[in-house]
Structure 1
Amino acid sequence: MTESFIKDPSARLDYQIDWSDWLDDETIAVSVWIVPAGITQYGVATSTATSATIWLTGGTPGTDYSIVNQITTTEARINQQTLKLLIRER
């Protein structure tokens, strides 16, 4: 599943993926974010037992970026979800 968000290039915002529906009785053991060139991760990404959060800034107006969150569960299952950032002047 890919969620899309419109972001101004100067905005510094947090984005979260809620994994609770997919996890069943498991929890997140490791969360890794893959951020393409042109977008900057601001600060440290965090995760809870059921969600992962990243802070992002930057981007080129008119450009769309795919930011991927890959998790590993306590049962060693691995899955990914993608956030799509649409960079637009606001």
Structure 2
Amino acid sequence: MTMLVKDPGTRIDYEFDWGAAYPAGQAIVESDWTVAPDEAGGIAVAATAHDLLCATAALTGGIVGRVYRVTNRVTLSDGQIDERSMSLRVEER
């Protein structure tokens, strides 16, 4: 799992590129983002988007010193479901 650093005052896009993981012809038809822990003042998903191969989420907030797990769960055009996660540590930068 990837560990990244996020400033609590930023709103920034994070993306997973699913294209290289699946055979040609597979496409993302649904994408859902979650953050754990889900807490007041924690990292929040402000917006999401996806195309056929990539899923993106704009993340805001976070409590300094905390580590959050951000997970993207996708459904592919053939019905397969997969997910990837990253860890975000919140620090003033």
State the identity as a percent.
32
Question: 2:5 is matched by which residue type in structure 1?
Answer: I
What is the aligned counterpart of 2:71 among 57, 68, 72? 68
SS in 1 for 2:68: strand
Q: What is the alpha-carbon distance in structure 2 between the residues aligned to residue 70 and residue 35 of structure 1?
A: 12
For the pair 1:15 / 2:18, whether they are aligned, the reply is: no
Alignment: residue pair count: 88
What is the aligned counterpart of 1:40 among 44, 51, 61? 44
Q: What do the CA deviations read for 1:43-79 (whole angstroms, capped 9, x no partner)?
A: x300010000000111011111001000010011110
8 Å CA contact retained: 1:9, 1:59: yes
Of 32-41 and 49-58, more deviation after overlay is shown by 32-41
Q: Structure 2: which 5+ residue stretches go unaligned?
A: none
Q: What is the alpha-carbon distance in structure 1 between the residues aligned to residue 17 and residue 58 of structure 2?
A: 15
Of 62-71 and 21-30, more deviation after overlay is shown by 21-30
